[in-house]
Structure 1
Amino acid sequence: MRRLIASTFLTLDGVMQAPGGPGEDDDSGFAHGGWSVTYWDDVMGEFMGESMGRPFDLVLGRRTYDIFAAHWPRVPDDEGAKPLNDATKYVASRGRPTLEWRNSVLIDGDVAEGVAALKQADGPELQVHGSANLLQTLIRHHLVDEYRLMIFPVVVGSGKRLFGDGAVPAGLKLVDSRVSTTGVVIGTYQPAGELVTGSFALD
């Protein structure tokens, strides 16, 4: 069975929208695109290199696919380009888009069912990058096996969140952590069953 990994950049208040630049995703008038750019350092590069240095395929929402497809095929010599260009890209879309980036496949029918079937098939791990709307569906159907979260020391106030309205309460287990020189907290979490509550109140 293939594992599905959510690899996500987050603000301190949980927003994952448009980390890479203005205009990347301005839905609902989001005006803070590019909030991650000035924080990159060698620690973060090493983490991303480890994550993308193993065999993987991609599961992407349509918007993230279009952003990646407009960039990575045009810079084949850039660090990180080869694994992304070589990976099979499974794309979730409400329409029937023409997918011109090589090794791209449209997920037909119900997205949750399609991704569940991909997990049952042979192949490398499945990584989800960006794709905020798609992740809401995958989280709701308990299809995410690991979260690789890079939490940036910024607050933007509003925007698309990794755990949006309707997220199913659950426990997570921290399996790896490190901190960049710029204050980015990098944590790897795995599902740990149902949320367990308690009380500090005295009897």
Structure 2
Amino acid sequence: MRKLIVAAFITLDGVMQAPGGPQEDTSGGFTHGGWIPPLADEAFGQAMQTLFSQPFELLLGRRTYDIFAGFWPEVGPEAPDRPLADLFNGVAKHVATHRPESIEWQNSHTLGADVTGAVRALKQQDGPALLTQGSGELVRQLLAAGLVDELRLLIHPLLLGRGKRLFGDDAQAAAFKLVESSSTPKGVLLAHYVRSGEVQTGSF
């Protein structure tokens, strides 16, 4: 059985919209796109290398798929990102989309109409972990269905006040255990959580 890992860049108030650039996602009038680059440093890069060092397949929503498919296949042979490009181009990619006919990036597969059902079936198979990148709408569906086994969060020291958030009100209640944490010199918290059962309650 495979693990499903949600890897996400978020702010202190849980925003995950358009971390990589100003024009990445301006929906809803979002004007803070590109909030990661000023906080990226060598430790941040090392954390990303560690994340991608274990075998995985990608789970992607359509917007993230389109961004990735327009970028990674075009990375040149001498570019610093070429090793990661080769990795992303080569792994299997499972995509939530209403337009399956336009999925052309190599090794890409559509999840079909029943997205959570398809992901549940993928988890039952043998194979590498299923890893999300971005894909906020898809991630919220997976959290609502209780399918997430691990959270790898890179929490940035920012309050944006608006924007699409990682956790929706329909996320299924679950307890998680912090198994590893660190921080970068620029204040990004790297937190690795593993699902540990049901939420326990009590009183003082």
The TM-score bracket by the shorter chain reads over 0.9
Q: Please state how far the C-alpha of 1:124 moved relative to its aligned partner.
A: 1.0
2:192 maps to 188
Match of 2:116 in 1: 112
C-alpha contact (below 8 Å) 2:96/2:115 kept by paired residues: yes
- Distance in 1 (alpha carbons) for counterparts of 2:171 and 2:113: 23
The answer to whether 1:132 aligns with 2:136 is yes
**Residue in structure 1 matched with residue 74 of structure 2 by the alignment:** 74
The residue number in structure 2 matching 1:88 is: 92
* CA shift for structure 1 position 25: 1.2
> Displacement, 1:170?
2.3
Equivalent in the alignment of 1:22: 22
Give the structure-2-normalised TM-score.
0.94
Cα shift at 1:103 = 0.6
**Pick aligned residue for 1:173 from 172, 177, 183:** 177
Compute the displacement of 1:73 (Å).
0.7
Residue-by-residue CA offset, 1:68-109 (whole Å, 9 max, x unaligned): 011111115424212111111100012334112111111123
Distance 2:100 2:51 in 1: 30
Give 1:147-166 correspondences, 5 Å limit. 147-166=151-170
Amino acid at match of 2:106: R
SS in 2 for 1:90: strand
Q: Quick check: 164-173 or 39-48, which moved more?
A: 164-173
Any unmatched runs of 5+ in structure 1? none
* Matched-pair contact (CA < 8 Å) for 1:76–1:82: no
Question: Take 1:54 and 1:91, find their aligned partners in 2: how far apart are those partners?
Answer: 20
1:14-40 Cα distance to aligned partner (Å, 9 max, x none) = 011110001211121111110111111
- Point out 4+ residue stretches in structure 1 off by more than 3 angstroms: none
TM-score of the superposed pair, with normalisation by structure 1: 0.94
Instruction: Provide the rounded CA distance (Å) in 2 between the counterparts of 1:27 and 1:134.
Output: 17
1:165 CA displacement? 2.1
Which SS does the other structure have where 1:23 is aligned?
coil
* Paired residue type of 1:13: D
- Correspondence for 2:125: 121
Aligned to 1:5: 5
Give yes or no for contact 2:12–2:155 (8 Å, CA) kept in 1: yes
Q: Distance in 1 between matches of 2:184 and 2:76?
A: 27
- Give 2:173's aligned amino acid: P
Residue deviations 1:40-71, cap 9 Å, x none?
Answer: 11211111111111211101000000000111
Q: Residue 70 of structure 2 aligns to a residue in which SS? A: helix
Q: Alignment RMSD, CA only?
A: 1.2
Asked if the contact 2:178/2:191 (under 8 Å) is kept, the reply is: yes
Q: Aligned residues: percent identity?
A: 50
Query: Which amino acid in structure 2 is aligned with residue 194 of structure 1?
Result: E
Are 2:103 and 1:99 aligned? yes
* TM-superposed deviation, 1:143: 0.8
Which residue identity does 1:139 align to in structure 2?
L
* CA distance in structure 2 between the aligned counterparts of 1:44 and 1:28, rounded to whole angstroms: 29
3-state SS in 2 of match to 1:80:
helix
How many Å separate the matches in 1 of 2:119 and 2:76?
28
